[in-house]
Amino acid sequence: MKTYRRSSTSTGLIMRRRNRPDSFKTWIGYEVTVMETVEYEKLPKYEIIPNVQGRVLLNSEQMTFFIVEIPPGKSVPMHSHPHEQMGICLAGEAEFTGRTEKRIVRKGMVYRLAPNEEHEVRTIGPEKSVFLDVFSPPRTEYVTKQRSIEGHMHDCGSPPVSASAQDHISSDCSG
């Protein structure tokens, strides 16, 4: 088993590569065995749909931690997904519309959407709305998209990582 150590970070993060074909860790290429931290503002944003940006913060076998930003007057159209979704509004104000009801969600409010629940989210205030969402099971399509735009591949064959993480991964592959 190869071990990759991040250099001089306060978390002392250790990443290990494993070859378990039935494991999500094999798909992403590494397992975080202690704790993982990221500086989310250094992670690249990408357009989920026109005028709506997001970024995957963390991803695991069980969930995806995701930030989405919706500009004033813009929306995520009516949709559903097989993932349970919970989140908190970090900024702004938006209208959540389901098939039978509408709810206003403001900064500091939390919400939950059941799997396959149809919903639309539209920013209604003068500032963009920002949401921190947790999806379970993981949103693998979000992870795949973000990995494709990050474009960084560790020299030892580990998966693409954000530029901020790349700076802290040792280039010594012997380990």
Comparing 33 with 170, which gets the higher pLDDT?
Answer: 33
Kindly state whether residue 98 falls inside one of the protein's structural domains: yes
Kindly state whether residue 163 falls inside one of the protein's structural domains: no
Burial class (CB in 10 A: 0-12, 13-18, 19+), 70: buried
Q: Are 64 and 56 within 8 A, CB to CB?
A: yes
Q: Are 59 and 150 within 8 A, CB to CB?
A: no
CATH label of the domain that carries residue 61? 2.60.120.10
Q: 81 and 28 in one domain? A: no
Query: Could you tell me the strand order of the sheet in which 84-91 lies?
Result: 46-49, 52-59, 64-70, 129-136, 84-91, 110-113
Q: 129 and 55 in one domain? A: yes
Q: 77 and 14 in one domain? A: no
Q: 125 and 79 in one domain? A: yes
Going by pLDDT thresholds of 50, 70 and 90, the confidence category of residue 31 is low
Q: 125 and 49 in one domain? A: yes
Ranges 34-48, 116-130, 158-172: which has the least confidence = 158-172
Kindly state whether residue 5 falls inside one of the protein's structural domains: yes
Can you give the pLDDT at residue 32? 53
Residue 103 confidence (pLDDT) above 60: yes
Residue closest to 97 by CA, chosen among 126, 68, 76, 82: 76
| Predicted TM-score of the model (pTM) | 0.67
Which tokens is 38 given?
A: 């990221």
Can you give the pLDDT at residue 38? 86
Q: 128 and 65 in one domain? A: yes
Comparing 108 with 61, which gets the higher pLDDT?
Answer: 108
Q: 74 and 56 in one domain? A: yes
Percent pLDDT > 90 in the chain is 51
Q: Are 123 and 158 within 8 A, CB to CB?
A: no
Q: Considering its fold, how many domains does the chain have in total?
A: 2
- Alpha-carbon gap, residue 160 to 12, rounded angstroms: 20
Query: Averaged over 112-131, what is the pLDDT?
Result: 97
Can you give the pLDDT at residue 91? 98
Average pLDDT in the chain: 76
Residue 118 confidence (pLDDT) above 60: yes
Q: 85 and 24 in one domain? A: no
Going by pLDDT thresholds of 50, 70 and 90, the confidence category of residue 150 is confident
Residue 133 confidence (pLDDT) above 50: yes
Burial class (CB in 10 A: 0-12, 13-18, 19+), 146: buried
Residue 160 confidence (pLDDT) above 80: no
DSSP-derived letter for residue 40 is: G
**Four-point Cα dihedral 104, 79, 136, 109, nearest 10:** -10
Structural domain of residue 32, as residue ranges? 1-37
The continuous run of DSSP H or E covering 77 comes out as strand 75-79
pLDDT tens per residue across span 85-97: 999 999 999 999 9
